[in-house]
Amino acid sequence: MRKVLFCLLAVATACTTNKSSSADSAKASGSDSTAAVAANDEAAGRDAIGKIRSGWQAAADRKDSTAVAAFYTDDAVLATSGAPVATGKAEIEKTLGRMVNLTKFSKIESKELVVSGDNAYDYGTYSDEVTLPNGKTAKEDGNYIVTLRKQSDGSWKITHHVSTTPPKAP
């Protein structure tokens, strides 16, 4: 788990660094049109990723793990609290199938979304209600970070997804 989180942080740092250096390069070249194209691409990426986030929540709340898994690349990695790491779309669909059948998401809120070229990361919080084995529900709040990559068809897909819930106080 630490290795996956470290890798995600490294990717996030690289995305942030590349974003700054790309903007500096555009300014140095004096190319307003290049900067405008980059800004339009970034805005389109942010919009597409926002739609992935809301589509993910809607599909999860419909208990449709196949639709949720469609937001991931074929070689994606999913690491969530209390479950083994799932690698590949088939494993992710299986893991999500168990999760979405017990969970209702009330909120998924992005706190930071960075788009840099064909890569992006989205960090945020979520709130959900989980149905416990005794039939009662428990509310929980957690954090997530996802990395995404723009596909050859122009769509965006999740490549890595880590979500955690803090330990409950004794």
**65-98 pLDDT per residue, tens:** 999 999 999 999 999 987 899 999 999 999 988 8
Q: Domain range for residue 90?
A: 2-164
Q: Is 119 exposed, middle or buried (0-12, 13-18, 19+ CB in 10 A)?
A: buried
pLDDT at 71: 97
The verdict on residue 12 lying in a domain is yes
Work out how many domains the chain is built from and give that number: 1
pLDDT tens string 130-164? 888 888 888 989 999 999 999 999 999 999 999 99
CA pair distance 7, 77, nearest whole angstrom = 11
At residue 170 the predicted structure's pLDDT band, cuts being 50, 70 and 90, is low
Whose tokens are 């630490």? That residue is 2
Tokens standing for residue 31: 């190319």
Q: How far is CA 125 from CA 38, 85, 117, 140, in A?
A: 28, 20, 24, 11
The verdict on residue 30 lying in a domain is yes
The verdict on residue 170 lying in a domain is no
The verdict on residue 103 lying in a domain is yes
CB-based burial, 120-150: b 16+ in 10 Å, e otherwise: bbbbbebebeeeeeeeeeeeeebebbbbbbb
The verdict on residue 81 lying in a domain is yes
The verdict on residue 169 lying in a domain is no
11 pLDDT exceeds 50?
no
pTM of the model as a whole: 0.75
Q: What CATH code is carried by the domain that includes residue 137?
A: 3.10.450.50
